[in-house]
Structure formats: structure tokens, C-alpha cells
């Protein structure tokens, strides 16, 4: 494998068609296992399905390497992740050995996807479920690189692992997120907006965007102090409840 000098403790797929075959086999198993995951758009995903996802990949691609290397490696869904589709987190014990680790996947991202095709990590896939697997593969590569070399980033070594195992040629995706969809509607930090609150229309400036937008509204007795000692109150407002105000 180009970019690494360590002998790998698992065999690489023989070809790109082999990668596609293994991924398709895993996807078929998961769709049969979980009706919510099989819906379009995805309605839900059970924890036992996530556990099966990790086991199937470890067996099909890594010959059980992860289960032998990590004392505990789990995969979870997070509804609070709105700017990233996945994240790898790990810890070490007192002897500096890998102990607990987690691949955290965004349910907000998964449930947001509707109809493909989707472009991510240099691949084009047809369904939300396939996109979820490709994002998972990216995070899995971080777990593999950390186990092999002690750390992980987006270096040439990481790209070599991602390409050799899963056919990834890039590390980026253009999938919709809360922030990107809000920005398309004109809602982003610094945008001037208004909204109805208890029968009154309030005007302010967006300070951040997540599942809702945080809007800072000028108020003489506001709890927040800004520039020039101005005071503001903060409101959490659903994106669809905001009106863009160009003349504020």
C-alpha cells in the first residue's frame, strides 16, 4: 500500500469490483435487518443495526482486526452533530494502549438525505444508505490508521488506506447539512432577520446556526453585552420561522 511501511494485519480487497461487492453485501444485510433504515428517506436506525454494521465491516474488510485491537470500539448515532457527518474519538489507558473508541455518526445527516446520486469521498452513490456507509468507511479509516500508527489525520498515508480498502480518492463530501441548507435560504451568521415572538415581530442578527438559529435581538435590559456596550437577548428560532431582513 503506497504511503505506508507497516505490514498490514489484514488482506486488502483484490480490486474495485471486490470493494463494491463487499459493500453491497453489507448493505443488503443491514436493509434486511432494519426496516427503518431501509426507508426513503431513512426513518430510524436501531443500535443493534449499528453494532452489526461495525461487525460486518470488521469481518468483510479487516479480518477482525479492530475487534482484536480495541478493548472497546462502538458506533453511535448523534442528533447533535449538524456540521459533520461522522467523527472518530478514542482514548488510551495508563500504559498508552488504545482502550475505548467511538465512531459517532450524525443522524441529522442520515435522515436529511432523500434522493441521490450523492458525491462523497471521490465516489458517487445512489442512495442515502450507501452514502451513510461511505461516511462510516471514512471514520473507520481513522480508527484503522490510529491502531496501526498511533494517530490519524488526512495525510497521504490516510488517503492510501482509504483508497486501498474502500476506493476513496478524496476526503470531502458535498452532502446537505443544516448549515448549508440554512445558508441557501439566506440564514447564516451575520444575517439580519426577523421573526414572530408572542405576537410581536422581533428583529436581530443571526449569531450561529445549528438545529435552530441563534438570533441576537437588541434589548435595553438584555442578558448579553455586545460591542459598544449594547445589550441583546438571545432567541433560538427554527430556520423556517425566520424572515430575511435586508433593510435592517
Per-residue pLDDT of the chain (248 residues; tens, 9 = 90+): 555 545 789 999 989 999 999 999 999 999 999 999 999 889 999 999 999 999 999 999 999 999 998 888 999 999 888 778 889 998 877 767 777 799 999 988 888 888 889 999 999 999 999 999 999 999 999 999 999 998 999 999 999 999 999 999 999 866 667 777 788 889 999 999 999 999 999 999 999 988 889 999 999 888 888 877 789 999 999 999 999 987 54
3-state secondary structure of 20: helix
pLDDT at 4: 55
The residue extents of the domains of the chain are 16-176, 179-244
Whole-model pTM?
A: 0.76
Q: Residue with C-alpha cell 449499528?
A: 50
Residue 100 is placed in which grid cell?
475505548
User: Helix, strand, coil shares of the chain as percentages rounded to 5?
Assistant: 40, 25, 35
| CA separation, residue 109 to residues 1, 113, 114, 242 (Å) | 32, 7, 10, 22
**CATH class for the domain made up of 179-244:** mainly beta
pLDDT at 169: 95
Torsion on CA atoms 181, 182, 183, 188, rounded to nearest 10: -150
Q: What letter does residue 12 receive in the DSSP assignment?
A: P
Rounded to 10 deg, the angle between the 47-62 and 16-33 helix axes is 160
Amino acid at each position: 500500500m503506497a504511503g505506508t511501511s507497516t505490514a498490514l494485519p489484514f488482506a486488502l480487497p483484490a480490486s474495485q469490483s471486490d470493494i463494491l461487492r463487499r459493500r453491497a453485501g453489507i448493505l443488503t444485510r443491514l436493509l434486511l435487518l432494519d426496516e427503518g433504515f431501509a426507508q426513503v428517506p431513512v426513518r430510524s436506525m436501531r443500535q443493534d443495526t449499528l453494532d452489526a454494521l461495525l461487525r460486518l465491516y470488521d469481518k468483510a474488510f479487516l479480518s477482525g482486526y479492530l475487534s482484536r485491537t480495541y478493548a472497546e470500539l462502538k458506533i453511535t448515532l448523534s442528533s447533535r452533530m449538524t456540521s459533520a457527518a461522522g467523527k472518530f474519538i478514542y482514548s488510551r489507558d495508563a500504559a498508552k494502549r488504545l482502550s475505548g473508541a467511538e465512531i459517532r455518526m450524525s443522524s441529522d445527516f442520515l435522515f436529511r438525505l432523500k434522493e441521490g446520486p450523492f458525491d462523497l469521498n471521490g465516489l458517487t452513490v445512489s442512495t442515502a444508505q450507501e452514502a451513510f456507509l461511505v461516511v462510516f468507511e471514512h471514520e473507520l479509516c481513522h480508527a484503522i490508521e490510529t491502531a496501526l500508527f498511533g494517530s490519524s489525520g488526512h495525510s497521504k498515508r490516510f488517503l492510501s488506506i482509504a483508497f486501498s480498502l474502500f476506493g476513496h480518492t478524496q476526503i470531502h463530501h458535498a452532502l446537505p447539512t443544516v448549515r448549508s441548507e440554512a445558508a441557501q435560504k439566506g440564514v447564516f451568521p451575520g444575517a439580519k432577520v426577523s421573526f414572530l415572538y408572542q405576537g410581536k415581530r422581533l428583529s436581530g442578527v443571526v449569531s450561529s446556526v445549528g438545529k435552530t438559529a441563534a438570533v441576537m435581538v437588541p434589548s435595553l435590559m438584555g442578558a448579553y453585552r455586545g460591542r459598544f456596550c449594547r445589550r441583546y437577548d438571545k432567541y433560538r428560532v427554527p430556520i423556517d420561522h425566520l424572515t430575511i431582513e435586508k433593510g435592517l
